[in-house]
Every structure is written in structure tokens, then in C-alpha cells.
């Protein structure tokens, strides 16, 4: 794929694809962007490694580094890929990914399911409120169905019997981390854990509200910050080139 655009949006949770579209549309008006999707069969075990191999197959023939962006588990895949192949990544933008990057909504769900003596549906309804904010009964039922699909199709490594953890750390390439002040999945404390790993030029930005899918509710506000980050990188690169020529 030698004709890849400047930005590749990683999508490993097809159930959540609709929530990515508003920000993708906003960004596509200002920069060339494509979506890379990993579709896992319900019969297959969750595997970040398998997704990593396919992503590398996609990018290995691309003749220049590319901006990667991903939300939650998709961002985790981007983080793993960037650490393994930094020479292929121009920058990494993470949405709703904490300094302990394995933490996602499923980790919270399985912990609650184990802790609370109530039905799966009640726990999922609680997760809808945590992820999306207050919803009426109709929307709650629809969003429970979305979460149920994600439990069977996402590459999230968590299960009822196992919660996976990882050691925090940064990346070699320019990094932007975005979150929301009212996100209870990746709360401000989890987000600010990145401050220990940010380099000069890296960005940590919080949306005032929007919960875990803040980029769905506020695509323009989030998009402006991401474009600003990419533009700063381009300006820095241009200044370096000008200095070399001079």
C-alpha cells in the first residue's frame, strides 16, 4: 500500500466505528486520512499480536512515516506498533488511553461483574452511563447491544477470569494524548500519568466534557487540537530543513 494517506485511523472495535466517524470527517477536510479496520471473528481469541502483524503488512510497503491515531484498545495497538516500529510512525495520537494503556471499558466491566451481585444487563447499563453519560431507556438498551457486540469482537485482552496490565512508558515519536475531564473509564488521574513520559513537543490535552467518547460528542473541538499538533510538527520539520539549508 504505497499510496497510503498522511493519517491512518486504527479501528479494532467495529461496534464503536460509528462513534469515530464525526472526528474522522472533520480531520478529512484538512488532511488525507484512511481507516484501518481489524475485524475479529467471535470464535477467535483476542490477539493484539495478530492485529499487529496485519497492521505491519499494511504499512511495511509505505515509503514514508505516517500519523497514527486510535481510541482505547485501538490506541493500545497503535502504541504497541509505534514502540516496535518507530521508524514507520510520524506521530501517535491516543484518544481515551491512560498511562496504564491496557485499561479500557472491558476491564472496568469485568471488575464490576465480579464485584457486584447483580445481572450482566444491570452491569452493562451501568457501563453505558459510565461511558456515554446519562441516557434515556431507549438509548441505554441500544447502547447495551453495542457493548455486548464489542465484548465478542474487540481485541481487548480482558476477560472475567483475567485482567491484563502493563508497565507505563512513552514512545520515541511525537505523541499526543487526549482525554475528557469527566471520563470515568480513563479518569484525569489516569490520563495525567502520561506526564511522566512526555517529551518536549508532546501534548496532553483534556476535553472539558464528553465522557469516554468525547471525540464523538465534540469532534470539532478535539479535531482542532489534533490538527494544531500535526501542524506544529510540520512547522518544526520545516524549520529544521531551513536551518540545514542556511
pTM score of the predicted model? 0.93
pLDDT in tens, 26-38: 999 999 999 999 9
| pLDDT of 245 strictly over 70 | no
Write the DSSP string, 13-45: -GGGGGGTHHHHHHHHTTS-EEEEE----TTSP
> Mean pLDDT throughout 227-241?
82
How many of the other CB atoms lie within 10 Å of CB of 96?
A: 29
Mean pLDDT of 111-119: 88
Identify the CA nearest to 10 among candidates 60, 84, 80.
Answer: 80
Q: Which CATH number is associated with domain 7-101+168-245? A: 3.40.50.1820
- Whose CA is closest to 223, among 69, 78, 103? 69
pLDDT, tens only, 138-182? 999 999 999 999 998 888 877 766 667 777 899 999 999 999 999
| Mean pLDDT for all residues in the chain | 91
CATH 3.40.50.1820 placement within the chain: 7-101+168-245
Tell me the mean pLDDT in the region 217-241.
89
Amino acid at each position: 500500500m504505497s499510496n497510503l494517506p498522511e493519517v491512518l485511523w486504527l479501528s479494532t472495535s467495529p461496534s464503536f466505528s460509528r462513534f469515530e466517524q464525526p472526528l474522522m470527517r472533520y480531520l478529512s477536510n484538512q488532511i488525507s486520512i484512511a481507516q484501518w479496520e481489524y475485524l475479529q471473528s467471535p470464535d477467535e481469541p483476542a490477539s493484539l499480536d495478530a492485529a499487529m502483524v496485519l497492521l505491519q503488512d499494511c504499512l511495511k510497503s509505505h515509503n514514508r512515516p505516517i500519523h497514527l491515531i486510535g481510541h482505547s484498545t485501538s490506541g493500545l495497538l497503535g502504541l504497541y506498533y509505534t514502540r516496535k516500529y518507530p521508524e514507520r510512525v510520524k506521530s501517535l495520537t491516543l484518544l481515551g488511553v491512560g498511562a496504564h494503556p491496557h485499561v479500557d471499558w472491558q476491564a472496568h466491566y469485568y471488575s464490576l461483574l465480579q464485584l457486584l451481585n447483580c445481572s450482566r444487563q444491570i452491569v452493562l447499563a451501568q457501563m453505558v452511563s459510565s461511558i456515554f453519560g446519562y441516557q434515556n431507556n431507549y438509548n441505554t438498551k441500544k447502547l447495551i447491544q453495542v457493548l455486548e457486540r464489542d465484548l465478542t469482537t474487540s481485541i481487548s485482552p480482558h476477560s472475567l477470569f483475567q485482567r491484563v496490565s502493563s508497565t507505563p512508558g512513552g514512545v520515541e515519536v511525537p505523541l499526543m494524548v487526549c482525554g475528557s475531564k469527566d471520563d470515568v473509564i480513563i479518569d484525569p488521574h489516569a490520563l495525567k500519568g502520561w506526564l511522566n513520559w512526555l517529551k518536549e513537543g508532546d501534548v496532553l490535552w483534556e476535553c472539558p466534557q464528553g465522557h469516554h467518547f468525547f471525540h464523538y460528542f465534540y469532534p470539532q473541538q478535539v479535531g482542532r487540537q489534533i490538527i494544531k499538533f500535526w501542524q506544529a510538527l510540520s512547522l518544526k520539520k520545516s524549520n529544521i530543513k531551513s536551518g540545514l539549508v542556511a
